[in-house]
Structure 1
């Protein structure tokens, strides 16, 4: 087992990993840039070290972080999500320096991070993908030709993209001509690559993702699915497990597809395979080679601590579970609490002047903030995740509504009131949501 882990992240996920380490008797090392000196993960870890003055640069400096891990006697690094979590070079440097990267290999990260390579791997494995270009587009003329062949609307996507960035829907040739240079520019700035590809746009699908665990012995299982259909501009806001929209047959099918996908690329550790579902059609979208923001809803319905399993797998231990051991118990909902104006969704940084999280049976808050904490403008606006679990879906919705009513965050604007509206929405209560839900019904 690993003895000491450096957490190459910040905020709530860093706090979450610190907690798992403490429960496993593993020492934790936090990193922080100077604006983050008073962050909760810094206070909670066994030790903490500065990685520079700049708000972001230190969290993105792979060599500096690995060197610090070596200097502080760490034998493992957990990347969390975001930042360097899907950076194959970071994983490769860890391997070079003898540090265990808590995630898949550098080669797998690179393959699945390249969306066209991932599509090719899935096609070879017999996993259905959306119709689209065979690979990266050579130029606008090829994009127009492919779009004409598969039909509009289409999605123009950055090959190295993620997190909802580098994606544009095009409903006509004119829109494709206008969006093509914009996506190229955004992809270059955000991901350092100008490569893009094209897919058929599945209009208002259900966004279903499956959590997988795989060990180095080739064993792989799924922990069933999460429904992430409630999104705003490709950014997830609410996640549900299990999905109220899948039939039992679809549930088993997407689980089998996810395991097939993981085995096809020699996957190791925790990962997520994402699908678009429309009617009886199910298409592979992408694979995230890291822990997801929304992993708690899966933990709540399966009873499996995904962070701890990540650490055990990285330490070389075989999976502790067989597929038949995994059962769904009850229903869970997660609301992402963002420091944003709940109507405009614009950031609302500032000092928290009063903080009281909800409690009670089946209520969980994963957060990196506290009373008098200053929410900084340099980072993602998510400051907490509110998760509830109950025996039935109706009870889970009522529990979430109650928890949101109890949640007090004064001094800044948050999206709590937005989530309260969703919990009282007839369509949400009936489980009839898709990726167009917010734009169509709420906003």
Structure 2
């Protein structure tokens, strides 16, 4: 096993990785920006190195400084977490060249599956269903208009190198296409340095279903069931649960088998997620994309499967076989995760950085966990993502999980900054959500208009 790994991230995921590594007997080094000098991950790790100023491009995205920190501290591997450099094939390739193990898939596979156009082509080869769409990169509005006419409206524009909901636009008519394409392309260029787009027929409304997979260097690939991530705002997930109430036994077998087939086709190693859109009216599902990293919502899968995904990541990167085989994986109960953000839902979810003057995190009972890097007296910096905690619950059934989440959110108390806790409490208590009657259109078209009417 590795003696020491470097964690190239911050916040709750850095804390999560530190804890997993410590339980495996592995030493940890973390990086931090000047704005994160007092962050929890800095206090918890065995070693900490400042890699630059507050701006992400000069610190958490600074490949040279991060690799120098790994070399200086003798770290044998780098865990990128999610976001930042987690899906950057150039960084993974640099790690390989410097004989530092990147805890994730190879740069080659990352290029294949991280780029949405390449991934789509590979899924067609693997026999995994994909939505009708462009067969390659789209660079001009003239190309976009022609392809959209062939596919038929409505369509969705996506940045080839995209993620986190950026570079995506839904288009219902030809009149909307040109301004939407130009805006999405500009956003993609600014966010990813790559303005290449592609176009797909829009499956909307739909269920957003994703399957957690794990692979190792010995040819083993397994799935850990599915998550329903249909509750989204601006293409960003708000609440996730496992299993999905929209899927029966037969469809579950079909969609998880397709995910395993996809991962096997590219000889995938480490943790990854295959995302699908499910058209409930027809029962058909379509490959959407693959996330070649650990997901924000991985804890719901850990609760229902009993498998520690982050520990498996470290073991697989070390060259070990997966600790479980598919026939050993059993699923129990129901799990839900709510993302807690420092933001004001009443003012268009404006970020709310600042000092936490008092903090009480919910606890007590079996099947409740809070992943966070907050503590009383900590100042949330304004430079990074607004997510400050994740509340995850597990119950014997969905009703118990819903009630446990309501109880947890009622206990959650943060003073000094505004959060979306009350918003999440209303969402988890909504009759449609309680009944499992929702899709990707629900939050934006049904819940939010009513929520924003309230005083």
| Aligned position for 2:144 | 143
Does residue 345 of structure 1 match 2:346? no
| Aligned position for 1:370 | 375
| Aligned position for 2:197 | 196
Equivalent residues of 1:115, 1:286 under 8 A apart? yes
| Aligned position for 1:12 | 12
The residue correspondences of 1:386-401 to structure 2 (distance < 5 A) are: 386-401=391-406
Structure 2 unaligned runs (5+)?
A: 449-455
Deviations 1:307-336, CA, capped at 9 Å, x for gaps:
000000000001121111111100000000
Q: Find the aligned partners of 1:309 and 1:113 in 2 and give their Cα distance.
A: 21
Q: What TM-score do the two structures reach when normalised by structure 2?
A: 0.96
Q: Find the aligned partners of 2:204 and 2:185 in 1 and give their Cα distance.
A: 23
Q: Find the aligned partners of 2:426 and 2:445 in 1 and give their Cα distance.
A: 14
Q: Find the aligned partners of 2:73 and 2:22 in 1 and give their Cα distance.
A: 17
| Aligned position for 1:318 | 321
Q: Find the aligned partners of 1:54 and 1:380 in 2 and give their Cα distance.
A: 13
Does residue 160 of structure 1 match 2:142? no
Q: What TM-score do the two structures reach when normalised by structure 1?
A: 0.99
Q: Secondary structure at the match of 2:231?
A: strand
User: After the TM superposition, which of the residue ranges 9-18 and 416-425 deviates more from structure 2?
Assistant: 416-425
- How far apart are residue 54 of structure 1 and its match? 3.3
The residue correspondences of 1:85-124 to structure 2 (distance < 5 A) are: 85-124=86-125
Q: Secondary structure at the match of 2:224?
A: strand
Q: Find the aligned partners of 2:152 and 2:208 in 1 and give their Cα distance.
A: 21
Q: Find the aligned partners of 2:378 and 2:23 in 1 and give their Cα distance.
A: 26
Q: Once superposed, which parts of structure 1, at least 4 consecutive aligned residues long, lie more than 6 Å away?
A: none
Which of 280, 287, 292 is 1:289 aligned to?
292
Does residue 221 of structure 1 match 2:222? yes
Q: Secondary structure at the match of 1:304?
A: coil
May I ask how many residue pairs the two structures share in their alignment? Answer: 443
Q: Find the aligned partners of 1:195 and 1:52 in 2 and give their Cα distance.
A: 30
Q: Secondary structure at the match of 2:53?
A: coil
Deviations 1:352-409, CA, capped at 9 Å, x for gaps:
1110100022110000111011111100000000000010100000000000000110
- How far apart are residue 184 of structure 1 and its match? 1.5
| Aligned position for 1:335 | 338
Q: Find the aligned partners of 1:155 and 1:338 in 2 and give their Cα distance.
A: 27
| Aligned position for 1:354 | 358
User: After the TM superposition, which of the residue ranges 6-15 and 258-267 deviates more from structure 2?
Assistant: 258-267
Q: Secondary structure at the match of 1:51?
A: strand
Which of 433, 439, 451 is 1:434 aligned to?
439
- How far apart are residue 113 of structure 1 and its match? 1.6
- How far apart are residue 138 of structure 1 and its match? 4.3
Equivalent residues of 2:228, 2:242 under 8 A apart? yes
Equivalent residues of 2:139, 2:195 under 8 A apart? no
Equivalent residues of 2:54, 2:383 under 8 A apart? no
Q: Find the aligned partners of 2:439 and 2:389 in 1 and give their Cα distance.
A: 24
Equivalent residues of 1:229, 1:433 under 8 A apart? yes
* Superposed CA RMSD: 0.8
| Aligned position for 1:276 | 277
Structure 1 unaligned runs (5+)?
A: none
Q: Secondary structure at the match of 1:59?
A: coil
Q: Find the aligned partners of 1:146 and 1:247 in 2 and give their Cα distance.
A: 35
Does residue 207 of structure 1 match 2:208? yes
Q: Secondary structure at the match of 2:345?
A: coil
- How far apart are residue 218 of structure 1 and its match? 1.3
Which of 407, 410, 414 is 1:409 aligned to?
414
Q: Find the aligned partners of 2:174 and 2:234 in 1 and give their Cα distance.
A: 22
| Aligned position for 2:47 | 47
Equivalent residues of 1:156, 1:197 under 8 A apart? yes
Q: Find the aligned partners of 2:113 and 2:199 in 1 and give their Cα distance.
A: 17
Q: Find the aligned partners of 2:274 and 2:204 in 1 and give their Cα distance.
A: 20
Q: Find the aligned partners of 1:175 and 1:369 in 2 and give their Cα distance.
A: 42
